[in-house]
Structure 1
Amino acid sequence: MSNPYSGNKLPERHIRLLDLHPGEIGTPFRGTLRHACLDSAEFYEALSYTWGAPITSSYLRCGSGSVPLTLNLTQALARLRRTDRTRTLWIDQICINQDNNAERGQQVSLMGDIYRGAAIVNIWLGEEDEETTEAMVYLPHLLQAFSNPDERDDVGDEVPHVMQVLSILTVRSPGWIGLRNIFERPYFRRMWIVQEVALGKTSAVQLGSHTIAWDDLAKAALCLEGDGGHQVDAHRVVRMIKLLRRQTVLDQPGRRPLIRLLHQSFNLLCTNPRDKIYGVLGLATDIRPGELLPDYSLSCQEVYHAATIFCVNKYKSLEVLCQVRHPKSLPALPSWVPDWTVISSLGQSLGFNLSENYSASGKKVSAPQFHLSDDKHTLYSNGKFVDNIQQVGTVMPSEQDLIVNVYERYEVLLEWEQYARTFSPYATGESYPTTFWRLLLADGGTRWKDSDRTRQQFYESHQNLVERNRDLANKDWEPVAEMSIVNTRSLEFDKLMEAACYGRRIAITEQGFLGLVPADAQARDEICILESVKVPLVLRRVPLSGDHHLIGESYLQGWMDGSWFESSPNPNMQFSLI
């Protein structure tokens, strides 16, 4: 059987479209592949889905050739195919010659325009089962929680009424379990979902025989945010998509810089690790034509190295270093180059998610001093040494199932509390309670910071949190009963603490400062502040060398506003990161 792509080179800004021929259930798939210009405004639908295991389940006959299909795509086509007329689709697995690296790179660079141009984006979540069918019954009732919202979130969207959600579904009900299982499907951990859904004009979700509006499913994801038994990560992806869609509608071109998109999508998955970079290029609004083109002939290390250097040069900043996580799965990378294949256990990035609170390297506007070695493997930057780490505590667990690790989390909180009690008053003059809650939040929640009464409320929320963890560690947990006595401020405190502490250790420096450091940090590591970086970094000196390895970002209590960096007598020095 011939190759359907043979002698079928795509002209510039052209794509292939699949005319899927009508057919009855169970009959072989047949279709026609044809070229179309992206600028011709031709009608087509796009498919957003996961490939699944790379095992051929069936074939699509195209003329005298055929295209192999994975099981998930086979199931999707069976649902999408009409019995009475042709349906025109764009599907990456079929419409791109996956064996041609040059074509793949060229088509990936057009991906943003492909999804913008689609009349509708069909989201395929997979086949239904008994639990997800139960969830579809409950979904309309769950959406009632938005009829009288408690408040609006930071992007202006309605927040579900927490107690109304709990009155509709308990966390052990079949409907709740079914919804949670939907959002735990691989689709919601997929890299490409962000671009495909955010840029589409209209999106419809298909789960087996059920069709759901994307906006309704997105609301359900927000209802499941931190449901007490499991932490479902889908809500983070949903929030990102909602924000990107709003920026697209409002035509805010400066709001989607590549460096921030790389951070926001850090923990999403893709079959080809190069797509951790290439998968957000179509969303970035600050990439000019010809910049950072997809090239699948490069190794993953080369792609990540080039992307990091691109960010350093483009933004005249070392902010991208805040994305470094350990342990790396690509050990050949320089320590200062993020390994985007790593799935991070951290709550959130200090240098990105919480960066509006910080300016550790000062507020003076001047060109930072940094440069690369000739081979581009050593990064030189000016900065200041702050202090050595003397002692580190236990890592705050970030296990997704809170029922499993609640006792461990309680034990870690007690340990950290003992560290903080030894510093009262702290170097900043603050008492132990204030020092500790600010540490647990990494000084987040600043919109309430000026109110003494609210400071006390934060501390009381912390006390409730500790007591609740102690109780839950010593008895069977009935999540609904527990959530019914937790006030909104306590839940907010929980979320902020998760963002700051999960996956990090408490650290004490030789001069008696408290901080939060990466799990890989250890005694004798150095805390330094590099020019243009908003947070201190943990560095490890290479033995018998003046070079350093970058361990990751950190929070240092009392050092985050830049006043120390600007007034410190410590000399400005050059650090070499390898």
Structure 2
Amino acid sequence: MSAQSLQLNGYFKVMALNTTSRNLSLDGTSLKAECQNEEGHWKDADLELDQLLGNLSGNFVWMGKDFGKNARDIRLEGFILHALLPTSPTTWNPTHVDLNDRICNKDGLLCYMDRLNSFYCYRGSRNRETEHSFTHFSTPIPVDDGHRRYWDAAEAYEIESKRVENEKAFRGLPSFQYPPLPSKTSIRLLKIEDSAKASDAIHCSLVVVDLEKDPHYNALSYTWGSPFTNSTPELETFYLKTTSISCQGQLLSVRQNLHDALRRLRKTPPATEKRGRYNKTPIIQAAEDGHTRLVRTLLLEGADIMAQDCFGETALHYAAEKNRLEIVKLLVHAGSSISKLDNSRRTPMSCAKQNKHNKVVEFLESMERLGDRPDSKGIFFRRTITNEEYIWIDALCVNQNDNDEKATQVAMMGRIYQSAKSVIVWLGRERQDVHDTSAEDLLMDAWKLEPAGKNGKLDESILDLLLDDPQRHLSPSAPPSLKAAATDWLQTVDEREMCRWLLSLPYLNRSWFERAWIIQELIMGRETTVVCGQFQFSWDMFLLLFCIVDGSRALMRRGNNPRGGTGVGFDTIVYRSSAMISRNIGAGTFESPVMMLQRRRRAFNRFGAIPAMSALSLSRNFNTADARDKVFSILSVCSSIKLSTESGQHIIVPNYAQTAQNLFLEVGVYLLQTYGPCILSLYKGLETSTVPALPSWIPDLTIPIYSQSLGISVSSSARRIDRIYTSTIYSAALGLKHQQPVHHTPSYSLLLEGFKWNTVEEMMVQGLSDIGSDASTLTGWINLLSKLNGTPAERTELLWRTLISDEALGTHPAQNMFNQFQGWVKFLSCIEMIGCSTLLVDEITSKRTYPQEVLYPQKSRVQILATLAQIQQDLSSLCIPLSNAESERWKTLDEFTPEKGGYADWYYGLETRARSFAEVMHQKDISRRLFRTQNGYLGTCPEQTKVGDCIFIIPETSVPYVLRPVHDGQYKLVGEAYVHGIMHGEAVRDLAIEMDRFSII
């Protein structure tokens, strides 16, 4: 975006007010300026701000009116409009607004523009007469998407225009007062009144019911703030808005995302369809013209698929007649009758036969054999989300200003969701903004998956099959209906979009997937419906969608095409490279959160309450606005958190009068009493915490742990997600027992015994998979290894085994992976040598039109050759020689272009040989650091480790720990250590070892 102009959708051109306007002045509330047009000429322009700005509670608000009616001291400073606006007859609020936010110069005229929702209007402009106050950005994009964007913008304009009007209508209402709930099992339920238009104000009412009487209602699962985690400041501001709604004649305020959900949940009549030539409705015309996306959109808008034109033909008649097979399938799935007769007594099949459209005939005949079911709409195309009259929504049904009520209701939330007839998941609008179609592109054709099940449900055996192996949907042994549906949907996905899945799927980054509360909301719900803007799915269909995505990711990583056939495109190779050298491995890298949540749901349904440690390990990787909710959010689905105190057993329950520090201390003591000192493996880093003053041995649940700990395991098995055990892979303490009980002091110092084995002498600065600019880390590895015993080959084996903690794909000790290791090192060295590693791991990779561009050399021939000389020396020291052919190729990498067949084939082979070892590395915590002990051992440790830290072996644990001396036998916990050569008791086999009594603070 240039400073002079902004090109929107490639067509509508506006110019920024502050760079193409001059001599701004105010005449009352009229803005006057000279504006430059596209030819460079200056024209006088003016805009009546009173037609665009209103006063709401003493603040400027766009799309309002008459702010100047009661304003004082209106003045302009540059492009900032200032005024004193009344909040009451006697109170004035000084406020201001930046005119650059919404006022632009369009070809020499001042106009209002909403970039977020893609519309502009000349309201308030005296220089232009127009019949329409709303104009959508005209674009040369395909008509299907153009219509969709027009409707988005038209709805947004109507809502924005009426927002201030609605707010003013509610201004005189008193704030809603929550009467106390009559019993401990009472809850409130919300009823949303129907409306004539989407832009109408929300009216609702609350009723009190008793859960003991099994009331009928649904429960909403949603995000209080923005549904998008990565968004523009403009979008963040939009979701910070609060909007007033009327509840029983009183005033309630809701955030923007909840307001969007309420509008989607309430019932509105279908829009009146304007008939065109020959009495055709929009869906009839779209079917005739072959606009598949437009037909889908119209169906989602509630179009009448049984409507007939003056010839008696429905949309299905035209689609069959014009050989629009995809539209035919779409209309039949949505419930269009295949036996409907037109004025000439023709059915849609007759139309297809008459024009010899054999594939359409074949499909319609297959549907005819199943029976003509015009009312058999799938969930995807249902206009209404639910038939239940009432819904439970925490922000409105719980008095958020009453901590006692809030604690009582939070304690009941598991039961509230379990008692609901259905849980409705609201993921937000389908578009992040009007130009972002990533979610829509993914979901638009997901109706094709519904034939895999019945009434939105998949057989339990199919769900098990998919969770155990997400790729089974494409295997020969998959149920025919499942394989057909998956294959049909995959054919609709753009191949480049599919490649991007290897890095990430923006849709799965929505805030809902990161909320800790969804664990209990999803696990406890009987039925679940997922809603994203205009789209809705049963949970089973939503799960199937992401099983296919996860399975496709796995296939593409191995070089297979999810659509069948052989090989993958070069774009896929680039995305695989990006994923392989990523420095940050977080949740969802290899499995979508949808799959992960379903595993927990299945475990709960089969095995009952999840053990507390497993639930806490899960919730710490999710977000909460209140740190205490890391614990409170999982209490309904886990075993009781009980700890022994001097006064007896204490059970943790929601209590918002309790501080987060005190709550985490109680949880830490419970874990210690239940699992022993192995809970030290739950510690993560010395990072800045939102809960200050916690002892280092108390798990800080605000700091996530995405990788598996070395010394304690929370099973991810689909059958036994409920099992927690001390790691059986390692046994560094070899059965050592504490001679005295492990306990904590009143000040929470942990008293225990341990063997101080050695200290950290030297460590690397870079992470385990970061070989550094110019491959300088290779030299660091060589320096570390040179101080250890053994031959060069033995030291190299020690290196690669240490990097992967000597475990690969469930096997320990790991099988010989030297060949895979050298392929991985060569790949990383090459990427650093040509200087493209930064581009490969940059977010922009996933947004490039031509991803292979990131592989062009970023260094000169001189730089490449200098780096190559050092790399060859280091690789030789690691017993990884470059062949003559490899050496000659590497010398010419300044000429590397992915378009050249020889280079492309070479790069494909280089990347493929690196993949096996890279996948093992990405199952580890690659933020760890390689280190050497004073007595000559190699290991990995947390990145916060410092030279001089001690390596301790502690009884009743399975791995060594890094502890930092403080003073007089006191230490701070730094984290787990892997030290090759002592992980199976080698350091403590001598019966004469002396253990120290010390404390961790």
Are the aligned partners of 1:504 and 1:518 in contact in 2 as well (CA < 8 Å)?
Answer: yes
- Equivalent position SS for 1:437: helix
The residue type equivalent to 2:742 in the other structure is F
- Retained in 2: the 8 A contact 1:33–1:62? yes
Aligned to 1:272: 626
Code of the aligned partner of 2:830? D
AA partner of residue 185 (structure 1): R
For the pair 1:546 / 2:969, whether they are aligned, the reply is yes
Residue equivalent to 2:760: 389
Aligned counterpart, 1:369? 741
SS in 2 for 1:59: strand
Aligned partner of 1:181 among 493, 501, 506? 506
Measured against aligned partners, the alpha-carbon deviations of 1:113-159 in whole angstroms (never above 9, x if no partner) come to 22222222222221122222122246579999xxxxxxx99962424
Quickly say closer, same or farther: Cα 1:421–1:114, change in 2 above 3 A. farther
CA distance in 1, matches of 2:665, 2:208: 35
Question: How far is the alpha carbon of 1:378 from its aligned partner?
Answer: 0.9
| 1:132-189 alpha-carbon deviations (Å, 9 max, x no partner) | 2122246579999xxxxxxx99962424799998996545569859981101222222
| Residue 100 (structure 1) aligned with residue 402 (structure 2) | yes
Which 10-residue stretch deviates more, 106-115 or 83-92? Answer: 83-92
- TM-fit CA distance, 1:224: 5.0
1:133 corresponds, among 411, 436, 440, to: 440
Is this contact kept in 2: 1:536–1:555, CA < 8 A? yes
Task: Name the CA distance, whole Å, in 1 between partners of 2:805 and 2:684.
Answer: 19
Tell me by how many angstroms 1:416 deviates: 3.7
C-alpha distance in 2, partners of 1:441/1:243?
26
Range moving further from structure 2, 37-46 or 74-83: 37-46
Partner of 2:287: none
Residue 324 of structure 1 aligns with which residue?
Answer: 684
Kindly indicate whether the alpha-carbon contact (under 8 Å) linking 2:768 and 2:927 is maintained by their aligned counterparts in 1.
Answer: yes
Decide whether aligned partners of structure 1 residues 407 and 546 sit closer, same or farther in structure 2, where only a CA change above 3 A counts. Answer: closer
Matched, 1:111 2:413: yes
Residue 308 of structure 1, aligned match among 644, 668, 673: 668
Structure 1 residue identity aligned to 2:216? F
Provide the rounded CA distance (Å) in 1 between the counterparts of 2:773 and 2:713.
Answer: 26
Distance 1:530 1:36 in 2: 54
Q: 1:347 to 1:317 in 2, by over 3 A?
A: closer
Query: Could you say what secondary structure the match of 1:132 adopts?
Result: helix
Deviation of 1:550 (Å) = 1.0
Deviations 1:391-414 (A, max 9, x none): 11123178xxxxxx7865965466
1:335 and 2:520 correspond: no
Per the TM alignment, residue 275 of structure 1 is displaced from its structure 2 partner at its CA by 1.0
Whether the aligned pair in 2 keeps the contact of 1:518 and 1:552 (CA below 8 Å) is: yes
Tell me the equivalent position of 1:401.
none
Whole-Å Cα distance in 2 between the matches of residues 463 and 568 of structure 1?
40
TM-score (norm 1): 0.83
Quote the residue 1:147 is aligned against: none
Match of 2:224 among 38, 43, 51: 51
Describe the shift of the 1:108–1:471 C-alpha distance in structure 2 as closer, same or farther (beyond 3 A): same
Q: Distance in 1 between matches of 2:799 and 2:260?
A: 53
Quote the residue 2:927 is aligned against: 503
Structure 1 residue aligned with 2:268: 83
In structure 2, C-alpha distance between the alignment counterparts of 1:140 and 1:368, rounded to whole Å? 63
- The answer for unaligned runs of 5 or more in structure 2 is 1-172, 227-238, 270-386, 432-436, 452-463, 476-486, 558-574, 580-584, 643-648, 715-726, 841-850, 853-897, 899-903
After TM superposition, give the deviation of residue 269 of structure 1 in Å. 1.2
1:240–1:264: 8 Å Cα contact kept in structure 2? no
Higher deviation after alignment, 484-493 or 235-244: 484-493
C-alpha displacement of 1:57: 2.1
Q: Distance in 2 between matches of 1:411 and 1:465?
A: 16
Higher relative contact order (CA 8 A, sep 6+): 1
Contact 2:680-2:975 at 8 Å conserved across structures? no
**One-letter code of the match for 2:629?**
D
Indicate conservation of the 8 Å contact 2:766/2:772, yes or no: no
Task: Show the counterpart of 2:1000.
Answer: 577
Instruction: Tell me if 1:419 matches 2:784.
Output: yes
Q: 1:244 to 1:577 in 2, by over 3 A?
A: same
Corresponding position of 1:215: 543
Partner of 1:195: 520
Deviations 1:308-337 (A, max 9, x none): 112112334441552332213244212222
Distance 1:409 1:310, change over 3 A: farther
Moved more, 205-214 or 491-500: 491-500
> Do the aligned partners of 1:380 and 1:576 also contact (CA within 8 Å) in 2?
yes
Compare 361-370 and 207-216 and name the one that shifted more: 361-370
1:64 & 1:562 partners in 2: Cα distance?
72
Match of 1:67 in 2: 252
Q: CA deviation at 1:277?
A: 1.7
1:502-536 CA distance string (max 9 Å, x none): 11111111111111111110111011122333322
Secondary structure at 1:126 match in 2: coil
Look up the SS of the partner of 2:607 in the other structure.
coil
Task: Give the 3-state SS of the residue equivalent to 2:695 in structure 1.
Answer: coil
Gapped regions of structure 1 (runs ≥ 5): 145-151, 399-404
Residue 180 (structure 2) pairs with residue 8 (structure 1):
yes
Displacement of 1:73 in angstroms is: 0.9
Counterpart in the other structure of 1:21: 193
How far, CA to CA, are the matches of 2:961 and 2:264 in structure 1? 51
Query: For each residue in 1:9-54, what CA deviation from the matched residue of structure 2 results, as whole angstroms up to 9, or x when unmatched?
Result: 2522332222222223112222222233334333222222111168
TM-score, structure 2 length as denominator? Answer: 0.50
Work out whether residues 539 and 550 of structure 1, in 8 Å CA contact, stay in contact via their aligned partners in 2.
Answer: yes
Q: Which moved more, 1:476-485 or 1:266-275?
A: 476-485
SS of residue matched to 2:259: helix
Q: Using the alignment, how far apart are the partners of 1:162 and 1:539 within structure 2?
A: 49
Instruction: Please give the alpha-carbon distance, in whole angstroms, between the structure 1 residues aligned to 2:523 and 2:206.
Output: 26
Residue 442 of structure 1 aligns with which residue?
Answer: 805
Structure 1 counterpart of 2:392, one-letter code:
W
The superposition leaves residues 269-311 of structure 1 with CA deviations (integer Å, 9 ceiling, x where unpaired) of: 1111111121222221354797211111122222222211121
Structure 1 residues 274 and 560, CA gap change in structure 2 (3 angstroms): same
Q: Which residue of 2 aligns with 1:525?
A: 949
Preserved contact between residue 322 and residue 553 of structure 1 (Cα < 8 Å)? no
Pair 171,107 (structure 1): closer, same or farther in 2 beyond 3 Å: farther
**1:349-405 deviation line (CA, Å, top 9, x unaligned):** 223458342233334688973111123x2111122212111111123178xxxxxx7
Distance in 1, matches of 2:943 and 2:400, equals 39
Residues 325 and 339 in structure 1, CA contact (< 8 A), matched pair in contact too: no
Cα offset, 1:552, TM superposition: 1.5
- CA deviation after TM superposition for structure 1 residue 564, in Å: 3.5
What is the Cα-based RMSD across aligned positions, in Å? 4.0
Give the length in aligned residue pairs: 555
1:243 aligns with 2:415: no
Q: 1:453-490 deviations in whole A, cap 9, x for unaligned?
A: x723x332222222222333326565798997589996
Cα distance in structure 2, aligned partners of 1:513 and 1:431 = 13
Matched letter for residue 281 of structure 1: L
CA contact (8 A) 1:134 1:175 kept: no
Match of 2:828 among 452, 455, 469: 469
Whole-angstrom CA distance in 2 between matches of 1:391 and 1:153: 48
Over 3 Å counting, the alpha-carbon distance change for 1:465 and 1:513 in structure 2 is same
Partner of 1:460: 819
Q: 1:87 to 1:373 in 2, by over 3 A?
A: same
Same amino acid, percent of matched pairs:
25
CA distance in 2, matches of 1:562, 1:335: 26
> Which of these two proteins has the greater Rg computed from alpha carbons?
2
Shift of 1:560: 2.4
Q: Which moved more, 1:415-424 or 1:263-272?
A: 415-424
Rounded to whole Å, the distance in 1 between the matches of 2:713 and 2:774 is 23
* Structure 1 pair 178–389 and aligned structure 2 pair: CA distance change class (3 A): closer
Q: Which amino acid aligns with 2:827?
A: R
Contact 1:141 1:168 survives alignment (8 Å): no
